[in-house]
Structures are given as structure tokens and as C-alpha cells.
Amino acid sequence: MACIVIDKLMPRERPPGGFTLKECERLTDYTLPFSLRCLYKTSRIPKQVRKIVVTNERDVWPEDPLGQIVGRRVAQLEIIERTY
């Protein structure tokens, strides 16, 4: 199983509030490809690649009234001890 770790992407790299709900749906759905603007070019993550998003901020996902992202597609973990 292919996987990519996306570190410190949300929310500072995007406009206030981070990604839009539609962008988060594409980011968290491993059956769809996802394009992301990084520095000087656009990077494309192909479908069937699972993404792990790492951030120091809590609750960075946008408002999701139908619960399509958090809970169904995203498992949020809080690490409270050093991992090294």
C-alpha cells in the first residue's frame, strides 16, 4: 500500500481556515487523485495513495456539517509524548 506524509501543510500554507471542504474531500479520498501547489510547481498525488497529514495545530479541518471528512475519512490522533 502506497502512502505519503504531508507535514505542516495546514493551515499556514493556505488562505485563512486552511483547505476548503471540497479540497479536503479530494485530499482524504484515496480513490481520487489530488493536486497540490508546492513552492514553485504543482505536485500531483495519484489515486490509491493514502495520505497522512501532520500538523501542530488542532482542529484544522474545515466546518463539515454532514460529517463526511472527520470521523469517516480522517482519524485524528494527538501525540502527547515524545516519539524519539
Amino acid letter, residue 68: Q
pLDDT in tens, the chain (84 residues): 788 888 776 654 555 556 777 878 888 888 888 887 777 888 888 988 888 888 777 777 777 777 777 767 777 888 888 888
Domain that holds residue 75: 1-84
Query: For position 13, what pLDDT does the model report?
Result: 52
Query: For position 63, what pLDDT does the model report?
Result: 75
CA-CA distance, 27 to 22, in Å (whole number)? 9
Closest CA to 67 of 35, 30, 21: 21
Q: How many domains does the chain have?
A: 1
Inter-residue contact 5 to 47 (CB < 8 Å):
no
